[in-house]
Amino acid sequence: MPFEFHTLDIPGPLLIEPRRFPDERGWFMELYKQSDFRAAGIAERLVQDNVSFSTRGVLRGLHYQVAPAAQAKLVTVLSGEVYDVAVDIRPDSDSYGHWIGQILSAREGNALYIPAGFAHGFVVTSADALVCYKCSAEYNHACERGIIWNDPSVGIDWPISDPIVSDKDRLLPLLPARPPSAGRGHS
């Protein structure tokens, strides 16, 4: 199998390390292979590819979509490096409001799989970055939601203290409190 799948501190997201095949011309690697991903428990059909280009310090997120267009994402950096974050927003999850962060880079070729039920964002830590994310549902404006990047209840430890954030992302709300009937408390 040309991929290694690694579990993280929150159940659901996976760090994926593809195998590279180097030769005198450079290298080749597979970014995604449905059969290998299914064997690792990732069954979603990926239906839309998005690409963003950003410069150092740009923070995009934290974004997600709700049903019926909730999205799983496979995030890969094609050029540069980012600190990629996923926040658990599944109401019944024991890790509701908790986050994981991973450095993704073109140099390493790693990727992050983020299932539906997570808000996603990243900040560029290199001079610039070209980021590709494959999604399991098409973009749907009516289902688009977000959480402000610096929500104190989430407490993400971003590696950049004063990021460049869009006006739209600057106005995102705080993470909603978990309904009392859902899961155990947020620690």
Among 64, 133, 139, 141, which one carries the catalytic annotation? 133
Calpha distance 168→146 (Å, rounded)? 10
The CA distance from 87 to 151, in Å, is 11
6 is known as an active-site residue:
no
CB contact set of 111 (below 8 Å; sequence gap of 6+):
15, 16, 17, 18, 31, 74, 75, 76, 104
Per the CB < 8 A criterion, the answer to whether 28 and 20 are in contact is yes
For residue 4, give the 3-state DSSP assignment: strand
Q: Catalytic: which of 32, 63, 83, 141?
A: 63
120 is catalytic: no
Q: Which residues are catalytic?
A: 63, 133
